[in-house]
C-alpha cells in the first residue's frame, strides 16, 4: 500500500507507461518530473499548460528507460495503452445542461439556428435544445458511442428518461452532471446520485461537474466516496490547453497519497471555450479541435471532448458534425466509451471477448466491411 508522494509517483508512472507493478525503482525517476506531478495533483498550474507537458516529459523518461534497459538487459517490454497499440483514444462526452428554453429566448437568439430548424421549432415539431436522440442517431451511424451527463435538478428528469434509457440500452452512457454543491459535499453528491438514479432508472458510474467546479482537496474523495468509477471534470473553461499537463487516465491520490479507485479522465477540450470564451469562428474552432487532438496523439493519450448536447444545432456547436466526419475519414482505430474505464490500462477481460485487449467498448468500422 503506497503512502508517500514518491510511492504514489512510482505507481502513477508504472500505470501510465504500462510497466509491470514493482518494476520501476524510485531512484531512476527524475526529480523534476516527480515534483511537478505531485504539485499539479494538488492544484498548482503545470509548467506549460498549453501542451500536455507532463506527458511529454514522461515520454522523454520512457525513452531513457528504454535505452538503459536495452543496454542492461537487451530488451524492454511495456503494455501499449490502447487496443491494437493505437496511438490515440477518443472519448466523446456531452453535458446536458438544458433540454429546453422559453420561446422568448429562442426568438432572441434565432440567428443561431438554421431557418428550417427554427420553422419546425415554431410549429412545435422540434425541440432545438434537446438533441439526445439526434446525437445518438448520427454518432451511431458513424460507429461512435458517447456519454451524456445529466443534471439532476435543472429539468424534469421524466422528460429525458425515455431518450436516456433508449440510448443506454444501445451502448451510450448516462452519467451525472454534478449539480451545484456536489463537488465538495458528500451529502449533496449523494442526493444528486439518488435523484438521477430514481429519475432515469440508471445508476451513474461516471460524472462531470457543472461549470467544471473542482476542489483539489475534496472533489476526488467525494466522487470516490459516492462510488463513481471515473470523473472527467479536470480541464479548462476559459482557455485551450491541458490544465494538469496530462492527457491519459490516472487514479488520483487521496489525502495520504494512496491511489483512489476513481479514475480521472483529464478533459482535453470543451466546446464553449471556443465560442463563448475565445470568440473563435467555426473554421478556426474546428482547426483548434484537430490541433489539440494531434497533441494528444503525440503522447499516445486520450482525447476527451466535451460538446454540450444543446449546442449541436447552433452556429459554432454544429461544427460537431464536421468533427465526426473528420474522425470517420481518419478511421481512428480506437474509440473509447467512458464506461468501462475501470479496466484501464487495457486488460484481457476488456472487450466483449472479441480477442482484443482493451478498455471500454469499441466499434471498429473496418470489422463490418
Q: What is the dihedral of CA 47, 50, 54, 55, to 10 degrees?
A: -170
Shortest-Cβ-distance residue relative to Zn ion: 210
Rg of the chain over Cα atoms, rounded to whole angstroms, equals 21
**Contact call for residue 94 and Zn ion (CB under 5 A):** no
Question: 76 with 65: CB under 8 angstroms?
Answer: yes
Which of 12/149 has CB closer to Zn ion?
A: 149
Q: Pick the stretch among 50-58, 75-83, 97-105, 132-140 that binds Zn ion (CB under 5 A).
A: 97-105
**Contact call for residue 81 and Zn ion (CB under 5 A):** no
Which of 95/300 has CB closer to Zn ion?
A: 95
**Binding residues for Zn ion, how many (CB under 5 A)?**
3
CB of residue 154 vs Zn ion: minimum separation in angstroms?
9
CB of residue 260 vs Zn ion: minimum separation in angstroms?
23
Which of 84/237 has CB closer to Zn ion?
A: 237
**Of positions 97, 179, 224, 229, contacts Zn ion by CB under 5 A:** 97
Which of 96/263 has CB closer to Zn ion?
A: 96
Residue 369 to residue 326: CA distance in whole angstroms: 19
Binding to Zn ion by CB under 5 A, coded x per residue (else -) over 277-316, reads: ----------------------------------------
Within 174-233, the residues that bind Zn ion by CB under 5 A are 210
Output the nine-digit C-alpha cell for 280.
473563435
**Contact call for residue 95 and Zn ion (CB under 5 A):** yes
Interface residue list for Zn ion (CB under 5 A): 95, 97, 210
Amino acid at each position: 500500500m503506497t503512502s508517500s508522494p514518491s510511492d504514489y509517483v512510482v505507481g502513477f508512472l508504472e500505470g501510465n507507461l504500462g510497466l509491470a507493478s514493482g518494476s520501476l525503482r524510485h531512484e531512476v525517476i527524475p526529480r523534476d518530473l516527480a515534483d511537478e506531478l505531485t504539485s499539479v495533483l494538488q492544484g498548482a498550474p503545470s509548467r506549460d499548460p498549453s501542451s500536455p507537458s507532463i506527458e511529454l516529459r514522461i515520454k522523454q523518461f520512457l525513452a531513457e528507460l528504454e535505452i538503459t534497459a536495452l543496454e542492461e538487459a537487451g530488451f524492454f517490454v511495456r503494455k501499449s495503452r490502447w487496443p491494437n497499440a493505437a496511438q490515440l483514444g477518443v472519448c466523446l462526452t456531452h453535458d446536458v445542461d438544458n433540454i429546453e428554453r422559453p420561446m422568448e429566448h429562442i426568438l432572441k437568439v434565432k440567428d443561431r439556428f438554421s431557418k428550417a430548424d427554427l420553422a419546425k421549432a415554431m410549429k412545435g415539431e422540434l425541440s432545438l435544445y434537446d438533441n439526445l436522440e439526434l446525437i445518438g442517431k448520427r454518432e451511431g451511424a458513424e460507429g461512435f458511442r458517447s456519454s451524456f451527463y445529466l443534471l439532476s435538478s435543472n429539468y424534469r428528469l421524466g422528460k429525458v428518461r425515455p431518450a436516456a434509457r433508449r440510448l443506454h440500452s444501445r451502448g451510450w452512457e448516462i452519467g451525472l452532471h454534478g449539480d451545484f454543491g456536489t463537488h465538495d459535499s458528500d451529502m449533496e453528491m449523494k442526493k444528486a446520485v439518488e435523484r438521477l438514479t430514481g429519475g432515469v432508472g440508471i445508476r451513474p458510474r461516471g460524472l462531470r461537474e457543472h461549470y467544471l467546479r473542482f476542489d483539489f482537496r475534496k472533489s476526488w474523495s467525494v466522487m470516490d466516496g459516492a462510488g463513481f468509477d471515473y470523473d472527467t471534470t479536470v480541464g479548462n473553461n476559459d482557455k485551450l490547453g491541458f490544465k494538469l499537463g496530462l492527457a491519459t487516465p490516472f487514479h488520483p491520490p487521496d489525502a495520504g497519497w494512496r491511489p483512489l479507485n476513481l479514475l480521472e479522465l483529464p478533459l482535453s477540450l470543451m466546446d464553449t471555450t471556443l465560442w463563448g470564451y475565445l470568440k473563435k469562428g467555426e473554421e478556426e474552432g474546428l482547426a483548434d479541435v484537430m490541433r489539440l487532438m494531434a497533441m494528444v496523439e503525440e503522447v499516445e493519450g486520450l482525447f476527451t471532448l466535451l460538446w454540450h448536447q444543446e449546442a449541436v444545432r447552433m452556429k459554432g456547436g454544429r461544427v460537431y458534425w464536421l468533427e465526426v466526419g473528420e474522425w470517420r475519414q481518419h478511421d481512428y482505430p480506437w474509440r473509447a466509451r467512458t464506461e468501462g474505464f475501470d479496466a484501464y490500462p487495457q486488460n484481457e477481460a476488456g472487450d466483449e471477448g472479441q480477442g482484443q485487449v482493451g478498455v471500454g467498448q469499441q466499434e471498429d468500422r473496418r470489422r463490418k466491411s
